[in-house]
Amino acid sequence: MRKIINLYGILFVLVTGLVYAEAEFDFETLMESIDNNSHNLQANIANKDAAATIDQAKKMQSDFKLVEGFFEKRGHSADAVADAKIYEDRAAEIIKFVEANNFESASIKAIEISNSCDDACHDTYKPL
């Protein structure tokens, strides 16, 4: 019996930690971060700073994964989920282009992310 109580206690702690982490998620802050990172990404590409560009693109991939999860949980937002996946893929393409020293193609993808974000989610879901 004591083992069962301990098991439930551990599960309770884990679940409350997840709920707390979810409560700490601030979507508006994330959107501002993505916007800023998009501009920084383009600047890093223009400066041909491969390391900074790759770091920034990886950060954006992670951020778009959070956006994807947010809209999946929200429901009735299949287009926003699909768009977030597209942006994750574009960020991955930027990494590949930079690794190949193709900053021109990386720049095109970075601009696509910025323009698509404005046209897609912002027009449909802003303000939430």
The per-residue pLDDT for range 85-107, each reduced to its tens digit, is: 999 999 999 999 999 999 999 99
- Residue 118: inside a domain: yes
Q: Is residue 4 part of a domain?
A: no
Query: Within a domain: residue 46?
Result: yes
pTM metric for this prediction: 0.75
Tell me if 95 sits within 8 A of 62, measured CB to CB.
no
Residue 116's domain comprises 26-125
- Per-residue pLDDT at 126: 60
Q: What is the pLDDT of residue 25?
A: 59
10-34: pLDDT as tens digits: 544 444 444 434 445 588 888 888 8
Domain of 92, CATH number, reads 1.20.120
Q: Is residue 100, in this structure, part of any structural domain at all?
A: yes
Structural domains of the chain, count: 1
For residues 100-124, give the mean pLDDT.
Answer: 84
The answer as to whether 16 is a domain residue is no
Q: Give a yes or no: residue 3 inside a domain.
A: no
10 within a domain of the structure (yes/no): no
